[in-house]
Structure 1
Amino acid sequence: MRLLCIETSSRRGSVALAEGPRVVAARSHSEQAAHAERLRPLLDELLSEAGWSKKSLERVGVGMGPGSFTGLRVGIAFAQGIALGLEIPWVGVGSLAAMARACPPEAGPIRVALLDARRQEVFAQAFSASGAALSEAEALPRADALRLLGARFPGALFLGEVAAELGAEPAYRSESTDLPDARGVAVLAAELEPAESIPEPLYVRDSGATPQALPPSPFQD
């Protein structure tokens, strides 16, 4: 199954093509304000690199948060537009779950994914080595996050660049676990079945944002 995967919940915007869970090609950028402008060019580059046609795509996977409200809306709208234009299913996956799934199982039995939530908070969620969620995604005070999480999950491995900024130990660092990435989305999107109803973004806290209409499909001729 050929998948297109998208992640825009943080300042990094990333796109990946995968055959099942195996990533074939991936691209990213680090200009959060440019997610809307960069996604289509990144996708075009990937399709050319992989030698795939747009019509060969069979499923779209997208990170659903938590994360940047604007970033999530951009990525989800882009994913929906492609899925609607090509008449293929799409699946939403948790952005923190994608970080955790990108961490090798042998790294530790429990891993806690952290992501900067701004407002002096961090988003956090704990997972088992197999990727099963051990807690709900939540927003915690940045200054107290490690203490609170360490008490609840003793010996847990911390993921995310914010974990390194806070001096978390033990910690695991890689490009796909420092920030949510489309490569982690690909593993989960290959496993999940499309929902019967449209998945809702995982905002965790009130965004105060006004919902916007979907843009035209990027693949409409």
Structure 2
Amino acid sequence: MTRLTRGQTGENAASQHAALIVRHLGRVEYEPTWHAMQDFTARRGPDTPDELWLLEHPPIYTLGLAGKREHILQVTHIPILPVDRGGQVTYHGPGQLIAYLLLDLKRRGLSVRELVNRMEQAVIDLLADYGIEGQRRDKAPGVYVDGKKIAALGLRIRHGMSYHGLALNVDMDLAPFSAINPCGYEGLKVTQLSELGVDEPLDQVGERLRVRLEACL
């Protein structure tokens, strides 16, 4: 089981970017990472720097606080885990870039709505780097390309502190999405960067996303 700690070296080393500590965690199991976010948020104080965790997960379905089991259309070998983020059911797997934002919203002067808007804008700006037009949808957080979802958002806010974040489909097996109604929307199609002509390693996409997120935050 991967333990996430401050002061790791190697790929998990922390680097400082404009008062935001960025951690590149590689491929890590979902549940211990989730609990590490909870622990970080519970322990942080008024001077604790904000953090951005960039990573990917092994295959898993997660069911948000508003999640309804009816949106799981087929039980497969992939585990299903109820979690404490907002939203419905989604899928995480290798080749999907995850960005977890552990932020003090009051210190940054951000409402939850504004944070969601800025996260979406970061993805839209990243897509524009590749010549791809990303769109928002009313009452359906995330980013879409030609009506297909490419990035999902889900947050948890505790005492003005955020955790969880966004998932961007880069180059993954999209088949597991067919076993669910993604984000609770029947018939919603998903897409990814590789289907849109982008041939770039996940870590390089992660660096682009880091830059865009920091610019928006």
Shorter-chain TM range is 0.3 to 0.5
* TM-score between both structures, scaled by the size of structure 2: 0.33
Q: TM-score, normalised by structure 1?
A: 0.33
- Flag the structure with more relative contact order, 1 or 2, with Cα contacts below 8 A and sequence separation at least 6: 1
